[in-house]
Structure 1
Amino acid sequence: MNISGKRLEKLVKGCIDNDRKAQEELYKLFYADMLRVCLNYLPDDGLAREAFNAGFLKVFQSIRSFDIRKGELGGWIRKIMIYTAIDLFRQELKFERIDDQPLDTDDFFIPPEALERLQFADILTQVRTLPYATQTVFNLSVIDGFSHKEISEQLNISEGTSRWHLAEAKSKLRVLLQKADQNAGKPKERSEK
């Protein structure tokens, strides 16, 4: 996103002053990125759009608390979108509680050569096939860098449950991405005419 600091300050001030044009510009500026964030956390487009709209309402209601000297506006909005999506997820879907148990914490779970051959869209498609709770924990941990403590607080689950979902995601993704990698290496069959 390429917007000058002065322009951003003016935009934030306009939103604080309830200027509809400034609000519309801010909305358009962050639309694609923030909708993608919501789509990462929610199982279907309808819920993602609901979280996106609720998130932007929260942005406009609390923009006075944003301090341009203390942080980046996109990161602040992203955090609101993540928390809004998680809140909606929590209302709509339930997490399965898992007893705390030691897990194999294999951080290097996908061979690098497989990742080199796959496109981001291929990987995202495989992540989207995970169960919703597992997908959410994976996104929070791997994509957004939340700790298990933060995830457990946000999702109202134990840290052990968070660890289990992450290990489960890694295990399932390892298999799914290896299959996708094998399929990516095969020549496409020609259809007979």
Structure 2
Amino acid sequence: MDLSKKQAGKLVKGCINNERTAQEALYKLFHADMLRVCYSYIQDKDKAKEAFNAGFLKVFQSIKNFDADKGELGGWIRKIMIYTAIDLCRKELKFNTADIGDEQIADDRFISPEILEKLYFEDILRNIRTLPYATQTVFNLSVLDGFSHKEIGEQLNISEGTSRWHLAEAKRKLRTLLQPDTESNEQLKERRAAGK
């Protein structure tokens, strides 16, 4: 959402002053993008809409805290939406907290660009939603929204290692789903061990 600093400042000022037209303009401007953000974290459409509405309420309640020098208005609203969606579904988040080594999560190979070019957002989202909810949440925060493992850990009350494990697990499972014709590392290792 490309919004000049001047336009954003005008909208923010209007919202701080409880001007209906400014609030409506802000809502309409970010409605589609922020609803999509909520859908990426919450599969149930009614629950996603609930998160969206609660998120916008938080936006209007805390808009006086927005600082244009620290970031862009759309990014600030997006973070509120993400945190609201996660808070709404926190009880459903179940994390694997097993201690893992870096060698288990070091596989940076993900999905080839050729495969991704053939997929639409809905196809990718459908595959992401097959992941366990905790793994899906970490994947979304890291890959879709650019959060660091430290930020994810703080938001979800998990260690950075747990966050890394869930991201690696998400990538492994998505690679299998999106590139079913390619052999996974595990299958390759098993074949080599069996001498085939």
Q: Which TM-score band (shorter chain)? A: 0.7 to 0.9
Q: Give the aligned partner of residue 87 of structure 2.
A: 87
Kindly state the Cα deviation for residue 142 of structure 1 after the two structures are TM-superposed: 0.9
Within-5 A mapping of 1:103-182:
103-179=104-180
> Structure 2: how far apart are the matches of 1:52 and 1:177?
29
Gap runs ≥5 in structure 2: 183-196
> Structure 2: how far apart are the matches of 1:96 and 1:3?
38
> Structure 2: how far apart are the matches of 1:161 and 1:50?
28
Q: Percent identity?
A: 71
Give the number of the structure with larger relative contact order, counting CA–CA contacts within 8 Å between residues 6 or more apart: 1
> Structure 2: how far apart are the matches of 1:81 and 1:169?
22
Kindly state the Cα deviation for residue 179 of structure 1 after the two structures are TM-superposed: 3.4
Larger CA deviation: 28-37 vs 63-72: 63-72
Q: Give the aligned partner of residue 22 of structure 2.
A: 22
For 2:16, the aligned partner's letter is: I
Conservation of the 8 A alpha-carbon contact between 2:141 and 2:152: yes
> Structure 2: how far apart are the matches of 1:157 and 1:4?
37
Conservation of the 8 A alpha-carbon contact between 1:109 and 1:174: yes
Conservation of the 8 A alpha-carbon contact between 1:43 and 1:132: no
For 1:93, the aligned partner's letter is: E
Conservation of the 8 A alpha-carbon contact between 1:97 and 1:157: no
Q: Give the aligned partner of residue 190 of structure 1.
A: none
Q: Give the aligned partner of residue 97 of structure 2.
A: 98
Q: Give the aligned partner of residue 72 of structure 2.
A: 72
Kindly state the Cα deviation for residue 8 of structure 1 after the two structures are TM-superposed: 2.6
Cα 1:3–1:148 shift into 2, 3 Å: closer
Equivalenced residue count is 180
Q: Give the aligned partner of residue 12 of structure 2.
A: 12
Kindly state the Cα deviation for residue 3 of structure 1 after the two structures are TM-superposed: 4.3
Gap runs ≥5 in structure 1: 182-193
> Structure 1: how far apart are the matches of 2:7 and 2:155?
33
> Structure 1: how far apart are the matches of 2:173 and 2:47?
24
Q: Report the TM-score when normalising by structure 1.
A: 0.85
C-alpha RMSD of matched pairs (Å): 1.9
**Deviation sequence 1:116-174 (CA, Å, 0-9, x none):** 33333322221122111111000111111111121111111222221221111111101
**Deviation sequence 1:76-104 (CA, Å, 0-9, x none):** 101111111111121x4132332121123
Q: Give the aligned partner of residue 189 of structure 1.
A: none
> Structure 1: how far apart are the matches of 2:147 and 2:76?
15
> Structure 2: how far apart are the matches of 1:149 and 1:4?
31
> Structure 2: how far apart are the matches of 1:45 and 1:180?
32
